[in-house]
Structure 1
Amino acid sequence: MTKQCFGKAKELIDAANSEDPNRETIEGKDWPKELLYSRRMLDMLERYAPDADDAMKLAVSAQHIQRWKSPRSGYPMNRKGYYQWRAELYKFHADTIANLLVRAGYENEFIARVTQAVGKKSLKANPDTQLLEDVAGLVFFEHYLLDFAGRHPEYDEQKWVDIIQKIWKKMSAQAHQFSLAGHFKLPDSMDPLIRKAVSE
């Protein structure tokens, strides 16, 4: 039964993320953006925490589930608007995955564990939330930092140090060690900046 639930839940998550109208081409293959992100999250989890259980596999797969339905542009473009968007986005992700896990046949206790991680509840205190945050940070450094930099040429070096440090502080010591031990390739142009930021 558990195996059937997991398979169904994964199908539902992939189907939901496949609806993303935003596309990204990688190695000649066209992907819905959030489906690609979900696959990258799961791949990183398997590398970083290969013994992670089904709850965490589903949580990382649903980290950005249907994110395009709650765009940042729908909120005031200031600090208050950002935090409002982020809080409501976490709730949206948690509610969305909860509904899919009910359809997959999971019990309330399992669903609560996944939604607490996806909803970013009790970072540093909840091991599941911390694991998800670790994986998200590692995926950002490996796959998205360079593109993000390309979209913000106006940022100076200190701005990048600040951004990297904010992400770094959310990650655990284990994730720090994993990052710096060469378990994945940091973007060549950003590697020195990352190492400077985390050494300060």
Structure 2
Amino acid sequence: MKTSNPFKFSQAIARFDELNALDPVTEIYEEKILPKELIYAQRMSKMLNQLAPNASEVLQLAVRCQHIQRWQIPRASYPMTKPGYHEWRNRLKKFHADIAQSVLKDVGYDEILVSRVCSLVRKDPVQDDDEAKTLEDVVVLVFLESYLGEFVASHADYEIAKFEDILVKSLRKMSKEGRSSITKLIFLPDELELVLRSALAKV
């Protein structure tokens, strides 16, 4: 992947990682105990490199800070209702974008690039935005590869049909190209693979 200014880029990535490294929740990743959101950010960058190795600098930055310091605004701080969920998600989008803006300005990026990264992080609705589509593809691919098993295990009361419905909604957010990459990039245990393939057939 190429960048217009490797020094600024490496500074920004390092700052994002420093902020995510403050996450008090840890997980095991590649035989190391690391902060949860730092792991997520690294997984996002790794998946982007697999899916779109020629991704722009803007997209690389947006991918890295998608969940930056997400633990600061826990789901429990909003009503456990559908409107409460959407309010929480919207607050997070602005929160992540505000942090990204501060970091990118501090390392010297120009306003045009900063604005574009923040727009992607906020998921601003823009028609035919290929980078926004790629970002969403990466989000879903990372979920499937690294978090689907955990999600299924934590909802043992769900019927298979409900899992399929949830997956169908996620898969519909992806581009056609993103969905076609699933079988090339994602390898799951047999029981999860069956559910995923069933969901893919319904999209």
The bucket for the TM-score relative to the shorter chain is: over 0.9
Partner of 2:165: 162
Contact 1:142 1:187 (8 Å CA) reproduced: no
Write out the 4+ residue segments of structure 1 that deviate beyond 6 Å after TM superposition: none
Q: In structure 2, what is the equivalent of residue 186 of structure 1?
A: 188
State the one-letter code of the partner of 2:7.
Answer: Q
Preserved contact between residue 24 and residue 35 of structure 2 (Cα < 8 Å): yes
SS of residue matched to 2:181:
helix
Aligned counterpart for 2:52 among listed residues 49, 52, 63: 49
Deviation at 1:27, TM superposition (A): 4.0
Gaps of 5+ in 2: none
Identity %: 39
Match of 2:19 among 16, 30, 36: 16
* Deviation per residue, 1:146-186 (Å, 9 max, x gap): 01111110111111011101110100000011013x23313
Aligned alpha-carbon RMSD (Å): 1.3
Q: Which amino acid aligns with 2:157?
A: E
**Distance in 1 between residues matched to 2:125 and 2:189, nearest whole Å:** 31
3-state SS in 2 of match to 1:105: coil
1:116–1:129 Cα contact (<8 Å) kept: no
Call closer, same or farther: CA 1:50–1:19 in 2, change over 3 Å.
same
- Residue in structure 1 matched with residue 38 of structure 2 by the alignment: 35
Matched pairs, number: 199
| Structure 1 portions without partners, runs of 5+ | none
TM value normalised by structure 1: 0.95
Instruction: Find 1:111's aligned residue among 108, 111, 114.
Output: 114
Residues 1:123 and 1:103: Cα distance change in structure 2 (over 3 Å) = same
Describe how 1:71-90 pairs up with structure 2 within 5 A: 71-90=74-93
Render the CA deviation track for 1:93-134: whole Å, top value 9, x for unaligned. 111111110111000100011111111112663222211111
Write out per-residue CA displacement over residues 38-88 of structure 1, whole angstroms, 9 at most, x where no aligned residue. Answer: 000000000000000211111110011000001110000001100100111
Asked if 1 retains the 8 angstrom alpha-carbon contact of 2:144 and 2:186, the reply is no
Q: Residues 38 and 63 of structure 1 are in contact (CA less than 8 Å); yes or no, is this contact kept in structure 2?
A: yes
